[in-house]
């Protein structure tokens, strides 16, 4: 079967359209579980951005005269499921915020990889409007990852200190 670059692009776009929907459903649980106020705030603001990204993706489909299409993203299903497990396992432990940051950063890195490809392909396909919209999303994902990096410095330290104190746990 022959696939054109445009069909590859549209497949991956539908993949991310599905991913963003799943992420908006997963983030509230992480926000609720986080015990660090700055982490809650960072995740809340990225949840609002994520809702906006669904709308931006719809505009990207439109620039190709396509209706928004959603196909199950197995990768994000796996990343979110693993994140759910690691967060559950660390719930009520001093490591909870470190675990949430790790789970969230895996999502951001997956998004950065895919949006990077999508933006490059939009350029190759000569659709500059789509490339610009995808870059908007890409910049939000990178900024979200960066704010998680900053929070992790402090939260990882907390997790380490308390693990030493509470070594009876394991």
Q: Which of residues 126-165 bind Fe ion (CB under 5 A)?
A: 141
Chosen residue from 9, 10, 14, 15 binding Zn ion by CB under 5 A: 15
Give Cα 41 to chain centroid, integer Å: 16
**DSSP code of 91?**
T
**Residue 24 or 41 with smaller CB distance to Zn ion:** 24
Instruction: Kindly state the smallest distance separating residue 19's Cβ from Fe ion, in Å.
Output: 7
The entry of Fe ion, Zn ion, none near residue 73 (CB within 5 to 8 angstroms by kind) is Zn ion
The answer to whether the CB of 19 falls within 8 A of the CB of 70 is no
DSSP string covering 6-58: HHHHHHHHHHHHHHHHHHHHHHHHHHHH---HHHHHHHHHHHHHHHHHHHHHH
> Least CB distance from residue 106 to Zn ion, whole Å?
13
Shorter beta-carbon distance to Fe ion: residue 15 or 111:
111
Binding to Fe ion (CB under 5 A) within 35-74 occurs at 50, 53
Binding stretches for Zn ion (CB under 5 A): 15, 73, 75
């Amino acid at each position: 079967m022959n696939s054109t670059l445009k069909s590859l692009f549209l497949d991956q776009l539908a993949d991310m359209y599905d991913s963003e929907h799943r992420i908006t459903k997963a983030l509230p649980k992480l926000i609720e579980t986080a015990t660090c106020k700055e982490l809650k705030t960072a995740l809340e603001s990225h949840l609002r951005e994520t809702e906006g990204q669904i709308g931006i993706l719809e505009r990207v489909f439109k620039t190709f005269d396509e209706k928004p299409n959603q196909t199950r993203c197995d990768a994000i299903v796996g990343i979110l499921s693993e994140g759910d497990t690691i967060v559950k396992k660390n719930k009520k432990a001093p490591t909870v915020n470190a675990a949430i940051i790790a789970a969230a950063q895996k999502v951001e890195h997956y998004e950065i990889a895919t949006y990077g490809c999508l933006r490059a392909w939009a350029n190759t396909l000569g659709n500059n409007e789509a490339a610009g919209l995808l870059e908007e999303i890409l910049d939000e994902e990178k900024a979200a990852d960066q704010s998680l990096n900053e929070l992790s410095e402090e939260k990882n330290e907390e997790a380490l200190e308390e693990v030493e104190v509470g070594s009876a746990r394991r």
